[in-house]
Amino acid sequence: MTSVQGLAALDRPSASHEKRVTTALFAAGLTTFAAMYSTQSLLPSLSAAFDVPPAHAALAVSLTTGFLALAIIPAGVLSARIGRTKVMIGSAVLASALGLLLPLAPSLDLLLGLRAVQGIALAGVPAVAMAYLAEEVGAAGLGAAMGVYIAGTTIGGLAGRLIPSIALGVSSWRWAEVAVSVAAALCTVWFARTLPPSRGFAPRPGGFGTLLGDLGRQLRHRGLLSLFGLAFLLMGSFVSVYNYLGYRLTHRPFELPAALAGSVFVLYLAGTVASAYAGRLADRRGHHRILVASLSLMVLGALVTIPDHLGTVLIGILLFTTGFFGAHTVASAWVGTLAENRGAASSLYMFAYYLGSAVIGSGAGIAYAAGGWIGLVACVCALFGLAAILVSALAVAGRSAPTVAGTGRAEPGSAGTPP
């Protein structure tokens, strides 16, 4: 082995370190998303308990993701100064502590206020996780590692919805929230004990001007800009469907009990499989092909849910969920591949992602109130029309982008996909 090869081998992250990183980020996905969506399956119960319409109750989800979006970039900046691991662990611990206070809220307004603060606390994990993975995991395995992290978010999202749904069958929404908050706290302990110190992190001190410069460079990158737009549309459409699915299933013509209606969230397991598989496929086949296939599956799934037949609704949600997590896995890994400043790029991606959840997730309530489920599906399909334009822009930019010799990466400012 030559000296250059020896140095390259030493620079590559060890297999044991990568395994610990991947396991810890899986746990991070569990605790973050269990806390983030702990109220989503409770929305019909909150409407009944506080006598408010669906769009008002949905703020228990939208405020969390909205304030999380606002805190994403500051959290990313903080991590660039003091370290990725400190920010992620602090974020998870604080969010878990706030979650344990939610069942004590005497009014909906106070509950919504706590959820908004919890959103700020949660920001540290999604703001940093993508950059941390990109720094600690070798490029050849980044797609697969990202898939494992996102698989953790799917199981966390499932637990955050399913645990309170089951608890509703025997108790009130308050005890349901206790159950899921305790589960999230236990996952936080697992995450904090497993997360290894950073090896690839280098502090980036700088002032406000440095921050604006870093963010501005990412926004001038055509490929990254399209991916940020996709994040906004993908998450917005996904949260919209799941926010109002419980209302559809608990009202006519289905009129399912709340606990049974909540069990539909078990379909999140499809996202777990899709995340890991889509990441590996993107590594081998290219990001663009897998992204188009995933978005097509989302459109098909949304249309299949229209008939008032429980079987077709469940099949449609299954397809929609599978497509969403496949698309999100590919898009987020693509950001890590294209970006020069991965921290700034991942912060902007997650900002757009959760802003879409807050803005579209709330706005879709207007479509649902006006046209029922068909109105909601029409709104979601309109979003996919915009997504198709962004995917086309990525394809055009990718075909015209030269690559840096020997790297397989597109030159800065392009949107090329590594082979």
Write the CB contacts of 308 (distance below 8 Å, at least 6 apart in sequence).
Answer: 253, 254
Distance CA 347, CA 178 (A): 31
Write the CB contacts of 38 (distance below 8 Å, at least 6 apart in sequence).
Answer: 99, 102, 160, 161, 164, 177, 180, 181, 184
Q: Which helix (H) or strand (E) holds 202?
A: none
Which amino acid is residue 365, in one-letter code?
G
- What are residue 404's phi and psi, to 5 degrees? -75, 125
- Give pLDDT, residue 205: 63
Burial of 193 (0-12, 13-18, 19+ CB in 10 A): exposed
Write the CB contacts of 392 (distance below 8 Å, at least 6 apart in sequence).
Answer: none
Number of Cβ within 10 Å of residue 296's Cβ equals: 15
Distance CA 289, CA 282 (A): 8
- Give pLDDT, residue 397: 61
- Give pLDDT, residue 204: 66
Instruction: Give the residues across from 410 on adjacent strands.
Output: 403
Distance CA 6, CA 217 (A): 34
Q: In a 3-state reduction of DSSP, which class is residue 171?
A: coil
- Give pLDDT, residue 418: 26
Cis ω for the linkage preceding 253 (within 30 of 0): yes
Residue 107 structure tokens: 């009014």
Look up the pTM and report it: 0.77
User: Could you list the pLDDT tens digit for every one of the 419 residues in the chain?
Assistant: 444 444 444 444 477 888 888 999 999 999 999 999 999 999 999 999 999 988 899 999 999 999 999 998 888 778 878 888 999 999 999 999 999 999 999 999 999 999 999 999 999 998 888 778 888 887 667 777 877 887 888 789 889 989 999 998 888 999 999 999 999 999 999 999 999 888 877 666 655 666 677 777 888 778 889 999 999 999 999 999 999 998 999 988 999 988 888 888 888 788 777 877 777 777 777 778 889 999 999 999 999 999 999 999 999 999 999 999 899 888 888 887 777 777 778 778 888 998 999 999 888 989 998 999 999 999 999 999 999 999 988 877 655 444 333 333 433 333 332 22
Distance of CA 385 to the CA centre of its chain: 21
- Give pLDDT, residue 202: 66
Give the relative orientation of helices 310-338 and 142-168 as an angle to the nearest 10 degrees.
Answer: 140
Residue 126 structure tokens: 């999604």
Distance of CA 145 to the CA centre of its chain: 15
